[in-house]
Amino acid sequence: QVQLVESGGGSVQPGGSLTLSCAASGIIFSTYTIKWYRQAPGKERELVATITTNDSTYYADSVKGRFTISRDNAKNTAYLQMNSLKPEDTAVYYCYATYWKGYWGQGTQVTVSS
């Protein structure tokens, strides 16, 4: 019944922008902390950004100043706005919702290349 669906991934040139969405169902969305992770081929899964239930935000140093995490509880949706994209941002991006248990989305591919 719980479902997290990421969308908005794609291919973009360096310096470009993308906004990812994470649409949730089957949970009381406003009670969950939302995190975005990413995983590049051959690399460990990396925590990119977090937004808490009281709208505190946290970012990995590698994306600070370029990415913005947000949420719209009325729409049961979280977002990751990505600006000034770099080739090293290329990865599969995953949404993770956690309260007492945690739930993962299926991931969406982001590719940054010339």
Question: 20-35 pLDDT, tens per residue?
Answer: 999 999 999 999 999 9
Tens of pLDDT, residues 69-84: 999 999 999 999 999 9
Q: What is the pLDDT of residue 56?
A: 98
Please name the amino acid found at residue 26: G
Enumerate residue ranges in the chain where pLDDT < 50. none
Determine the pLDDT at residue 64: 98
| Secondary structure string (H, E, C) spanning the chain | CCEEEEECCEEECCCCCEEEEEEEECCCHHHCEEEEEEECCCCCCEEEEEECCCCCEEECCCCCCCEEEEEEHHHCEEEEEECCCCHHHCEEEEEEEECCCEEECCCEEEEECC
